[in-house]
Structure 1
Amino acid sequence: MSQLDCRFPKTIYVIQHIAFEDLGCFEDIFYQLGFRIRYFEAGIDDLSTALQYTGLTIILGGPISVYDTEHFPFLTDELLLLKQRLTQQLPTLGICLGAQLIAKALGANVYAGLHKEIGWHKLTLSTQQPNLLTPLKDLKVLHWHGDSFDLPEHADLLASSEYYPHQAFQIGKQILALQFHLEIDPEHLEKWLIGHYVELQHTGIDIKQLRADNQNYAPQLCDAAAEILQQYLSQLDWQHIPL
C-alpha cells in the first residue's frame, strides 16, 4: 500500500441500515492497516456526526430503497446530509444502498430495476483508466439488489452487468460507489441467508447454490477487495479537506 498522508484520520465511520450487513472482510483490512471503526445505525443514531466527518465515511447496504421516504423518513435527512458531504468532496464510499444514496444525493434518478440481481456474477469493467476495479477482472462478485440508478453528472463509470449498466462509479479521487458487495465475508454469508430468507423465497433463489458459490468465489473476492480498498485509500486527496 502506498504511504498514507500523515493527517489521514485513523477512525473509519460506517453507516449501517441493517445489523447483519456490516463491513465484512473490509473490517479486518482496516484493522490490519491500523484503523479504528465506529458504526452508526441509520434510523436510530444521529447521522450528522458520520456525514459531517472529514475522514472516510462508508455507507452500507440494506433492504429498503432510496425512495422509501414515506415509510422511512430518516432517509430524507440522510440524503440531505450526504448531499452536503459530497459537495465538500469528503471521502465517501457507498455499497449497494449506499451507492444508490450517493447517486440520488448527486441528482441522479434511482428506481426499481427490471430484474432482481442476486447471486455471484462477473462484471464488465469499463475502459476507464485507471480503473480501481481492475483486480475484479474475471472474478465473480456478489450481487444483491433490485434497484438501479442513472449515472450522476461528472461520474466515471467503472463497471456494468447484463441488467444493470451502472454497477460502479467514481467521482474524482474521493467518492466511490459500488452497487455490488465487494465487502462480503465468506464466513458470514449465513447471516445474509437468514436475514433475507423471505426475499430469497419470494424470488426463487436457490439458497444452497448461493452458499456453494460463496465457498467457491468469496475467498478470491476478499483478496481483490483488499487490493481495491488499499488503492482507494492511497489515492485520497487530503490537501483541500479541512482537518
Structure 2
Amino acid sequence: MNIHYLQHVPFETPASIEQWAIHNQHSLWATRFYANDSLPEIDTLDWVVVMGGPMNIYEDDKYPWLTAEKRFIEQAINQGKTVIGICLGSQLIADVLGSKVYQGEYKEIGWFPIQLTQAAKDSTIFGSLPQQLDVFHWHGDTFDLPAGATRLAYSEACQNQAFLYDKKVLALQFHLESTKDSVRQIIGNCLDELVEGKYIQAAEQMLSRDDDFEQINSVMRHVLDSLVQQNSHDNAVGSA
C-alpha cells in the first residue's frame, strides 16, 4: 500500500506506525507542513494518516496550511481512502465531518485509561481488545461526535476519545503509536504544558511505563492490521 502521513511539527512522528509500515513493506512518505512540503495527488495513495501537533484546528490564520490540509482530508474521505487521525488529526477529521472542536474541560496528558464502548466491542477493529486500556494522551481540545460516526471509546476526562466513520475513517484522540523516544521528544518541546492538573502527569511518570509503551504499540499494530483486513474484505465483496 501507499501510505501518506501529514506531519505538523518535527517532534510528532508516526513512531510505531512507521515500524509497522516498514515491517509490512508498505510505501510510507510524508507531507511535512512545517517544512512547506506540497500535498500529493489523492489518486497516488491508499491511506492518509494525520498526525498530532500542538496547534489548534481553528488557527488557520497562524498556520495557513491548515486550510489546504482540511480540504485534502475531505477529498480523501470523499474518495473512499482509509484515513486515520491521531490527536490533532482526529480533531481535523471531526471538523471536516462537520463537528464542533473546542477546548475540553480538562487537559489530558500522560497515561490514563479509556473505556471501549459496546459498539467498539462489536467491531472487527477493537472487538478482541480489553474493555479498558491504558493509553497515552496529550491533548487539551476535544470534539463532538460527527453525524453518522460510531463512538468507540471514552475516558473519565473526555467523553469522545475515538470514532469510526464509514468503516474507513478512524479518529483516535489518544496515542497508540507513541514510543518512549517520541514521548521524550514531545516533552522536550512542550514542557510548558506540564503544569498542575487532575489529568496531567509529570515527565518522569510518563517515561517510566516501559510495558505500557509495548502494549499500546501492540494495539496499534492490531488496529492497523484489522483495517487492512477489513478493507481487503470490503474490496473483495465490492468486486464480487
TM-score, normalised by the number of residues in structure 1: 0.87
- Is the partner of 1:198 in helix, strand or coil? helix
Is 1:217 the equivalent of 2:203?
Answer: no
- Pick closer, same or farther for the CA change 1:73–1:187 going to 2, 3 Å: closer
Partner of 2:186: 192
Deviations 1:16-51 (A, max 9, x none): 01112111111111111111210111251122x165
Amino acid at match of 1:208: E
Partner of 1:58: 49
- 2:125 maps to which of 118, 127, 132: 132
- Pick closer, same or farther for the CA change 1:96–1:220 going to 2, 3 Å: same
Amino acid at match of 2:173: Q
- 1:82 maps to which of 73, 92, 105: 73
How many angstroms does 1:151 deviate by?
A: 0.5
- Is the partner of 1:123 in helix, strand or coil? strand
Partner of 1:46: 38
Amino acid at match of 1:30: A
Is 1:116 the equivalent of 2:107?
Answer: yes
CA distance in 1: counterparts of 2:43 and 2:84, whole angstroms: 14
Judge conservation of contact 2:3–2:45 (CA < 8 Å) in 1. no
- Pick closer, same or farther for the CA change 1:100–1:216 going to 2, 3 Å: same
**183-192 vs 157-166, greater mean Cα deviation:** 183-192
CA distance in 1: counterparts of 2:229 and 2:67, whole angstroms: 32
Partner of 1:27: 18
Partner of 1:4: none
CA distance in 2: counterparts of 1:109 and 1:227, whole angstroms: 30
- Pick closer, same or farther for the CA change 1:95–1:210 going to 2, 3 Å: same
Name structure 2 gaps, 5 residues minimum.
Answer: none
Judge conservation of contact 2:50–2:86 (CA < 8 Å) in 1. yes
Count of matched residue pairs? 230
Judge conservation of contact 1:40–1:50 (CA < 8 Å) in 2. no
Partner of 1:227: 222
CA distance in 1: counterparts of 2:63 and 2:189, whole angstroms: 19
How many angstroms does 1:54 deviate by?
A: 4.0
How many angstroms does 1:201 deviate by?
A: 4.7
